[in-house]
């Protein structure tokens, strides 16, 4: 093996890696020039990589002892190299097939070890033709992989036998494996999400990704479906090109596209910017996902079977679902006497039936509706509007129905305004869905909350429309309210309902923003919300339900127990104010906190108390009253990976009392004894908080390199009843570990006595609000603002 590796006539594995890196690096030097210049385009790069690896394997196979014709041993490529779709840093999927007449272990070692030693990824197997087919009969992944088998070196007859037999095995047994295939596809989708609607799509494994294209090819090879058409082929090329450039830029294997990679890849592919790329990928993902959905249904794999005279036979039935709508087998179809051209309400009856039953709309029905269904004239008839509400209240069934209608242009007939948000990527990191899918998911969530409101129809329609104003370059809530008025009138809602619907969209962020950034116990805060809503309790309950549905549809961790509790408390106080009931008096300290402060005053020692309910905990710190208690306590919490949501600072018996609402970022709450020991050291100055927090930020990632500039906003007369002369400062910046500690420390150095703080984290961004007494000296605000901005940076 050593001689083979150093023979001058045979390229070594190190030569292979150097040549690969030259192919990738040549483009990197001209990256700024875009798609022109000496850079290989994505397709040419894949061809060059396939040629390079094939050349190396062919040359090295002979040196390793893989004989030629009649030798009984063959080297096959499957996977990306088998398809000649080798993207940068892909593993080589290789099979050493043999006829079993002679040992091949030494041959395999000579092939595999040089690649391993040079860091080339390798997925390999050594089997006889019979063994390979036996494994394929039990392992679906192996079966599908062998469909791409391509001869590299050695005895071509072995390759032909294995490839031909594997394809025949697949064709002969495919119908028995369709259930297994569908289950594996669904499990993969559940893990990887969707290419079409995820902000960070998995180009390979996601629904509508490259793995799904392989399934389509396999079904076509089995002659169950036709070969994919030009639209699917174009989607395939875009996904493959994007994956190629993603890996070339990353310099390592990666299949999940992050927004920060988008601009560079978009420029290379001639798509403008990352938002144009995201929309193009979303369209490609939709195309592939829809093609696979139709393909799997066309195979009959999901059609129920009936046993007739001891024989399993497929018996599609036609069961009426609504006027002109039937369930045919497992698809919602048109009745034989239905006439889409003369029945404007048929489209929504079909959609509502599909959403209600969870069965897909038959492609033939979609085609007929697309060709001849007339546009609904405004205002919509009452029964048609009720069908829309029934569709929106279908829950999870809504998602696939909207997707099917949208792909065929039928959704745009119902909602022409939808075009601006279709495939639109969000502008903030908290969202995991595209805007259109977020709206649908929020409606799905709202369907679970309809019993909490007196007008479920307005909740469902409001959920569908609440972000419709995005993508238009203005405040989306204001634009969306105008669009909601337009849509509500077209739907035929009464004028009062149109006004309520518009207000729902206009103020859909009011409750969560107020609850997480202001003191919900303050009368001024409560009355400001009540006045904004015009004292309307129906609008208040609609906004409460929408706040939950919207947050849950935004991303994981957005709707927390803490946020839910604060929002519910704010809504409760607003209801009391609307009913004329006096609000409970605000008290920054409860009896337990005052008792803890009294004990600390007598002992002279700092102390803490932790009260935990589920994952939400209230941590109370007490120490001799002096500037710095807030920042030190916040620093101790950050050191222990506790996320602060709210903080209130008061005093009792000469002792400062800081109460923090926190949740663990991961794991469980730390030992209170550890928090007590660290806080005591922080108060005494023996714990170097700034130094330790800086080290933690280095270890776990601090401020993003391309983070937006921090911004400070001042609000007068919004601080709350704790101090009528207080102001609120709102800091908007990139989130990082120890941010609250740094900002609190800066405020304390400015002589500011913080009354309360609210901390809202939205993805990688933070919106932190602080209330404190207003200063009177000239330049006081400027000094505070400079200090806060410096701390944020």
Please list the residues that pair with 609 across neighbouring strands: 620
Most confident of 29-38, 301-310, 425-434, 783-792: 783-792
Q: Please answer whether residues 635 and 689 qualify as being in contact, where contact means their C-beta atoms are separated by less than 8 angstroms.
A: yes
Strands 122-128 and 92-98: parallel
What are the residue ranges spanned by the domains of the chain?
A: 1-225+233-252+262-301, 320-414, 415-558, 591-792
Rounded to the nearest integer, the mean pLDDT of the chain is: 88
The Cα–Cα gap between 386 and 375 comes to 17
Task: Give the model's pLDDT for residue 26.
Answer: 52
Query: Where is pLDDT greater, at 11 or 390?
Result: 390
Task: Give the model's pLDDT for residue 544.
Answer: 97
Positive or negative torsion for Cα 296, 297, 302, 308: negative
Please list the residues that pair with 662 across neighbouring strands: 617, 644
Task: Give the model's pLDDT for residue 489.
Answer: 97
Closest by CA position to 449, among listed 551, 602, 299, 599: 551
Query: Where is pLDDT greater, at 270 or 764?
Result: 270
The Cα–Cα gap between 125 and 102 comes to 16
> 415-558: CATH homologous superfamily?
Hypothetical protein af1432 (1.10.3210.10)
Task: Give the model's pLDDT for residue 706.
Answer: 57
Mean pLDDT of 478-482: 97
In this predicted structure, which of 5-19, 287-301, 484-498, 773-787 has the lowest mean pLDDT?
5-19
DSSP state of 699: H
H-helix or E-strand containing 451? none
If you search the block for the tokens 């179809």, which residue do you land on?
A: 333
Task: Give the model's pLDDT for residue 152.
Answer: 94
In this predicted structure, which of 1-15, 135-149, 420-434 has the lowest mean pLDDT?
1-15
Task: Give the model's pLDDT for residue 718.
Answer: 61
In this predicted structure, which of 191-200, 345-354, 410-419, 557-566 has the lowest mean pLDDT?
557-566
Q: Cis ω on the peptide bond leading into residue 228 (within 30° of 0)? A: no
Strands 331-334 and 642-652: unpaired
Helices and strands in the chain: count of H runs, count of E runs: 31, 17
Alpha-helical runs (H) found in 222-302: 230-250, 259-269, 274-298
SS3 188: helix
Mean pLDDT of 329-333: 91
If you search the block for the tokens 């829809």, which residue do you land on?
A: 290
pLDDT (tens digit per residue) in 584-629: 776 667 888 888 988 988 888 999 999 887 778 889 998 887 778 8
Query: Where is pLDDT greater, at 9 or 546?
Result: 546
Percent of the chain with pLDDT over 90: 57
Give the total residue count for the chain: 793
**Cα–Cα–Cα angle for 721, 727, 733, rounded to 5 degrees:** 125
What's 154-176 look like in SS3?
A: ECHHHHHHHHHHHHHHHHHHHHH
The Cα–Cα gap between 631 and 614 comes to 26
Task: Give the model's pLDDT for residue 686.
Answer: 92
1-225+233-252+262-301 and 415-558 in the same fold: no
Fold of 591-792: Alpha-Beta Plaits (3.30.70)
User: Burial, 451: exposed, middle or buried (Cβ in 10 Å; 0-12, 13-18, 19+)?
Assistant: exposed
As assigned by CATH, the class of the 1-225+233-252+262-301 domain is alpha beta
The Cα–Cα gap between 346 and 340 comes to 6
**Cα–Cα–Cα angle for 42, 44, 47, rounded to 5 degrees:** 110
The Cα–Cα gap between 531 and 521 comes to 16
Task: Give the model's pLDDT for residue 307.
Answer: 43
Cα torsion through 127, 133, 137, 140, rounded to 10: 70
The Cα–Cα gap between 136 and 165 comes to 11
Task: Give the model's pLDDT for residue 316.
Answer: 60
Mean pLDDT of 553-562: 86
* Beta-sheet strands, E only, within 607-710: 607-613, 616-624, 642-652, 655-664
Q: Please answer whether residues 515 and 548 qualify as being in contact, where contact means their C-beta atoms are separated by less than 8 angstroms.
A: no
Task: Give the model's pLDDT for residue 743.
Answer: 92
Most confident of 3-7, 259-263, 481-485: 481-485
The Cα–Cα gap between 339 and 686 comes to 82
pLDDT (tens digit per residue) in 698-740: 776 555 555 678 889 888 766 544 445 678 888 988 888 888 8
Query: Two tokens at 412?
Result: 């745009």
Q: Please answer whether residues 149 and 76 qualify as being in contact, where contact means their C-beta atoms are separated by less than 8 angstroms.
A: yes
User: Burial, 705: exposed, middle or buried (Cβ in 10 Å; 0-12, 13-18, 19+)?
Assistant: exposed
User: Is the confidence at residue 294, as pLDDT, over 60?
Assistant: yes
The Cα–Cα gap between 515 and 624 comes to 30
Reported confidence tier of residue 28, pLDDT bands at 50, 70, 90: very low
If you search the block for the tokens 């629904």, which residue do you land on?
A: 207
Reported confidence tier of residue 311, pLDDT bands at 50, 70, 90: very low
Q: How far is CA 716 from the centre of its chain?
A: 37
Biggest alpha carbon–alpha carbon distance for the chain: 96
Q: Please answer whether residues 621 and 631 qualify as being in contact, where contact means their C-beta atoms are separated by less than 8 angstroms.
A: no
User: Is the confidence at residue 791, as pLDDT, over 80?
Assistant: yes
Query: Two tokens at 717?
Result: 């007369």
Closest by CA position to 195, among listed 253, 255, 144: 255
User: Is the confidence at residue 306, as pLDDT, over 60?
Assistant: no
């Amino acid at each position: 093996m050593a001689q083979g590796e150093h023979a001058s006539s045979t390229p070594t594995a190190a030569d292979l890696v150097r040549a690969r890196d030259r192919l990738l690096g040549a483009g990197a030097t001209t990256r700024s020039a875009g798609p022109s210049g000496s850079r290989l385009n994505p397709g040419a790069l894949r061809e060059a990589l396939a040629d390079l690896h094939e050349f190396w394997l062919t040359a090295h196979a002979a040196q390793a002892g893989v004989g030629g014709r009649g030798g009984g041993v063959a080297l096959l490529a499957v996977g990306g190299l088998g398809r000649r779709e080798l993207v940068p840093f892909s593993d080589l999927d290789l099979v050493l097939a043999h006829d079993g007449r002679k040992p091949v272990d030494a041959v395999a070692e000579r092939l595999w070890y040089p690649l391993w030693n040079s860091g080339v990824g390798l997925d390999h197997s050594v089997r006889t033709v019979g063994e390979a087919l036996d494994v394929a009969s039990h392992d679906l992944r192996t079966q599908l992989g062998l469909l791409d088998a391509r001869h590299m070196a050695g005895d071509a007859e072995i390759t032909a036998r294995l490839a031909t037999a594997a394809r025949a095995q697949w064709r002969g047994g495919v119908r028995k494996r369709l259930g297994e295939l569908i289950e594996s596809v669904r499990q993969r989708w559940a893990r990887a999400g969707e290419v079409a609607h995820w902000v960070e799509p998995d180009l390979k494994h996601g629904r509508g990704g490259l793995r799904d294209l392989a399934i389509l090819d396999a079904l076509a090879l089995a002659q169950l479906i036709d070969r994919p058409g030009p639209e699917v082929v174009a989607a395939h090329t875009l996904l493959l090109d994007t994956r190629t450039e993603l890996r070339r830029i990353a310099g390592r294997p990666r299949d999940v596209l992050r927004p920060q990679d988008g601009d560079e890849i978009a420029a290379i592919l001639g798509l403008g910017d990352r938002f144009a790329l995201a929309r193009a990928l979303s369209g490609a993902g939709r195309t592939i996902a829809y093609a696979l959905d139709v393909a799997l249904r066309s195979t009959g794999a999901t059609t129920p079977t009936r046993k007739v005279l001891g024989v399993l036979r497929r018996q599609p039935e036609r069961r009426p679902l609504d006027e002109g709508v039937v369930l045919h087998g497992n698809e919602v179809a048109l009745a034989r006497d239905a006439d889409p051209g003369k029945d404007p309400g048929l489209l929504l009856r079909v959609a509502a039936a599909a959403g209600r039953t969870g069965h897909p709309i038959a492609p033939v029905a979609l085609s007929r509706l697309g060709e001849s269904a007339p546009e609904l004239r405004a205002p919509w008839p009452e029964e048609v509007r009720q069908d829309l509400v029934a569709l929106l209240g279908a829950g999870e069934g809504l998602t696939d129905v909207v997707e099917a209608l949208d792909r065929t242009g039928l959704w745009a007939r119902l909602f022409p305004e939808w075009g601006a948000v279709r495939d639109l990527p969000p502008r903030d990191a908290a969202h995991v869905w595209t805007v259109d899918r977020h709206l649908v998911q929020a409606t799905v969530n709202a369907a679970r909350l309809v019993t909490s409101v007196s007008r479920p129809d307005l909740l469902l329609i409001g959920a569908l429309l609440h972000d419709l104003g995005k993508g238009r370059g203005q405040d989306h809530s204001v634009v969306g309210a105008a669009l909601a008025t337009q849509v509500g009138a077209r739907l035929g809602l009464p004028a009062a309902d149109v006004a309520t619907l518009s207000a729902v969209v206009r103020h859909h962020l009011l409750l969560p923003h107020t609850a997480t950034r202001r003191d919900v116990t303050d009368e001024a805060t409560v009355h400001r919300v009540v006045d904004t809503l015009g004292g309307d309790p129906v609008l208040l309950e609609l906004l409460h339900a929408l706040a939950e549905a919207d947050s849950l549809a935004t991303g994981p961790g957005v709707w927390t127990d803490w946020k839910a509790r604060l929002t519910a408390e704010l809504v409760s106080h607003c209801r009391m104010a609307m009913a004329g009931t006096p609000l409970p008096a605000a008290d920054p300290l409860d009896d337990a906190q005052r008792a803890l402060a009294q004990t600390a005053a007598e002992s002279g020692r700092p102390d803490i108390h932790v009260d935990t309910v589920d994952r939400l905990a209230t941590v109370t710190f007490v120490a001799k009253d002096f500037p710095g208690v807030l920042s030190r306590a916040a620093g101790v919490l950050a050191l222990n990976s506790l996320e602060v949501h709210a903080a209130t600072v008061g005093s009792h018996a000469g002792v400062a009392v800081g109460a923090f609402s926190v949740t663990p970022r991961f794991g469980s709450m730390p030992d209170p004894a550890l928090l007590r020991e660290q806080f005591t050291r922080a108060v005494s100055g023996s714990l170097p908080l700034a130094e330790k927090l800086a080290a933690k930020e280095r270890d776990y990632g601090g401020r993003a390199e391309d983070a937006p500039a921090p911004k400070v906003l001042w609000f007068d007369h919004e601080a709350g009843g704790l101090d009528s002369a207080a102001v609120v400062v709102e800091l908007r910046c990139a989130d990082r570990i120890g941010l609250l500690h740094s900002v609190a420390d800066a405020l304390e150095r400015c002589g500011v006595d913080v009354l309360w703080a609210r901390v809202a984290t939205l993805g990688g961004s933070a919106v932190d609000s602080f209330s404190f007494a207003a200063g009177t000296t000239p330049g006081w605000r400027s000094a505070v603002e400079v200090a806060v901005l410096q701390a944020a940076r």
